[in-house]
């Protein structure tokens, strides 16, 4: 996996939380930030799926099983 270095500025309260939370879960600041970004990505992806799902025409849902019986194969 390729790794990039990043310098960021955050409020001191967030920095303190980052350090304390890292101690609690026994992980470094980089790992805590990676996990936070992963959660943010998952939240964004979920929002994208919700938006895409709202674009599906409701009429399509009724045609999804046209021609298929309810019999088990």
The answer to whether the CB of 29 falls within 8 A of the CB of 18 is yes
- The token pair at 30 is 């980089």
DSSP 68: -
Phi, psi torsion values for 46, nearest 5 degrees: -60, -45
Q: How many CB atoms lie within 10 A of CB 50?
A: 9
Choice among 2-6, 13-17, 49-53 with the minimum mean pLDDT: 49-53
**Average pLDDT for 46-67:** 74
Asked if the model's pLDDT at residue 68 lies above 80, the reply is no
How far is it, in rounded angstroms, from Cα 28 to Cα 22?
A: 6
Which pLDDT band holds residue 51 (cuts at 50, 70, 90)? confident
Nearest CA to 24 out of 35, 8, 37 is that of 35
């Amino acid at each position: 996996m390729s790794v990039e270095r990043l310098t960021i500025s955050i409020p001191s309260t967030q920095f303190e939380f980052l350090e304390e939370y890292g101690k609690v879960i026994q992980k470094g600041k980089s790992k805590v930030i990676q996990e936070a970004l992963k959660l943010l990505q998952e939240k964004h992806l979920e929002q994208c799926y919700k938006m895409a799902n709202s674009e599906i025409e409701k009429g399509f849902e009724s045609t999804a099983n046209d021609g298929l019986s309810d019999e088990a194969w």
